[in-house]
Amino acid sequence: MDSTINMIKQIRSQLEEDSRMETHERVKRKREQSPEINNKRPHQKTERARERRRRKRERRRQRLLYEKKEEQRWKRPRSSDRDEAEEGESAWKRPHMDEERCDPLDISSYNFHHELGNGSFGNVMLASLPNRKKPVAIKILKKENIKLKERYETEVKVMKLAWKCPFLCNIHAAFQTQVQLSVILQ
Q: Would the pLDDT of 7 be above 70? A: yes
Nearest to 146 by CA among 112, 180, 96, 171: 180
Question: For strand 136-142 and strand 180-185, is the pairing parallel, antiparallel, or unpaired?
Answer: antiparallel
Dihedral sign for Cα atoms in the order 11, 17, 18, 24? negative
pLDDT in tens, 126-184: 998 887 778 888 888 877 755 667 777 787 788 778 877 778 778 888 888 777 878 78
149 is in an annotated binding site: no
| Domain 107-185, classified CATH 3.30.200.20, yes or no | yes
Question: How much is the pTM?
Answer: 0.43
| Residues pairing with 181 in the sheet | 141, 176
DSSP state of 90: -
For the chain, give every domain's residue range.
2-74, 107-185
